[in-house]
């Protein structure tokens, strides 16, 4: 990374593109920094100026007139070129946040999966950007059990899930918080919804729709959540 840092030192960031969980920082002249935050990556903002000595875990530091941003804990932080970016994007499914997203691509790939829908929703080659919270909540919202085979979903179910994910993800960007409950149902504005009220089954002891116990189990290395009254497994 020292060579890459030297190459970018003093350069001006021209653009940032987000696709699913991938970020591409464009410094011009064909130089892009590919960032994937993973589970533990985050940005630390220093509005008053950068600490003189970065943490040992800092992968990228960007400094400008309005402050400094340090990237720590990211799964990936690498200097790439446009051809390498295109190869990364070719592996990904459509991102519901993007205006150019084609849900038909996700539908076709979903129909080829013999895995469970719970596993398919976390497969970034099917849906780009869907994480564990959204997986649990979108399945609960549409009464689908995480263990239902992915290729048994109807197109109507898929379209309804896609619409929910698109709406929730856009709200998440605007609000900087994940809210999947309908604010009208609990009689609150979105800004007044507390964290424990925001979700239906994810990390809940009881389903916030019916009050039954929420089941939690390991599904391919990640916790799955379901209310088996609201989401019966056919």
The CATH number of residue 158's host domain is: 1.10.8.50
Write the burial class of residue 163 (CB in 10 Å: 0-12 exposed, 13-18 middle, 19+ buried): middle
Domain count, the chain: 2
pLDDT tens by residue, the chain, 234 residues = 667 778 898 999 999 999 999 999 999 999 999 999 998 999 999 987 777 777 888 899 998 888 899 999 999 999 999 999 999 999 999 999 999 999 999 999 999 999 999 999 999 999 999 999 999 999 999 999 999 999 999 999 999 999 999 999 999 999 888 999 888 777 788 888 887 789 999 999 999 999 999 999 999 999 999 999 999 997
Is 234 a domain residue?
no
Residue-range definition of the domain harbouring residue 25: 2-90
Query: Do residue 117 and residue 29 come from a single domain?
Result: no
Residue 47's nearest CA partner among 25, 70, 26, 29 is 70
What are φ and ψ of residue 133, in 5° steps?
A: -65, -50
Query: Do residue 143 and residue 203 come from a single domain?
Result: yes
Residue 98's nearest CA partner among 206, 13, 22 is 22
Contact 223, 132 (CB under 8 A): yes
User: Pick from 90, 111, 131: which residue ends a domain?
Assistant: 90
Query: Do residue 125 and residue 222 come from a single domain?
Result: yes
- CA 151/CA 132 separation, integer angstroms: 20
CB burial readout 142-161, b (16+ within 10 A) else e: bebbbbbebeebeeeebebb
Contact 205, 194 (CB under 8 A): no
């Amino acid at each position: 990374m020292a060579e890459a840092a030297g190459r970018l030192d003093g350069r001006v960031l021209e653009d940032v593109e987000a696709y699913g969980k991938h970020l591409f920082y464009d410094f011009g002249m064909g130089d892009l920094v590919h960032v994937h935050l993973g589970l533990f990556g985050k940005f630390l903002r220093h509005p008053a100026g950068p600490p003189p000595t970065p943490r040992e875990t800092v992968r990228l530091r960007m400094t400008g007139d309005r402050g400094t941003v340090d990237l720590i804990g990211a799964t990936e932080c690498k200097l790439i070129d446009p051809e390498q970016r295109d190869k990364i994007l070719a592996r990904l499914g459509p991102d519901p946040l993007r205006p150019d997203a084609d849900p038909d691509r996700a539908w076709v790939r979903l129909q080829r999966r013999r895995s469970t829908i719970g596993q398919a929703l976390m497969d970034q080659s099917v849906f780009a950007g869907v994480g564990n919270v959204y997986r649990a909540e979108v399945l609960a919202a549409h009464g689908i059990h995480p263990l239902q085979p992915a290729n048994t979903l109807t197109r109507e179910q898929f379209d309804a899930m896609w619409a929910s994910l698109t709406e929730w993800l856009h709200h998440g960007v605007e609000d900087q918080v994940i809210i999947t409950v309908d604010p009208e149902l609990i009689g609150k504005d979105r800004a007044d919804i507390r964290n424990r009220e925001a979700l239906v089954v994810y990390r809940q002891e009881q389903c916030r729709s019916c009050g039954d116990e929420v089941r939690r189990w390991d599904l391919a290395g990640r916790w799955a959540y379901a209310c088996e009254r609201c989401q019966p497994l056919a």
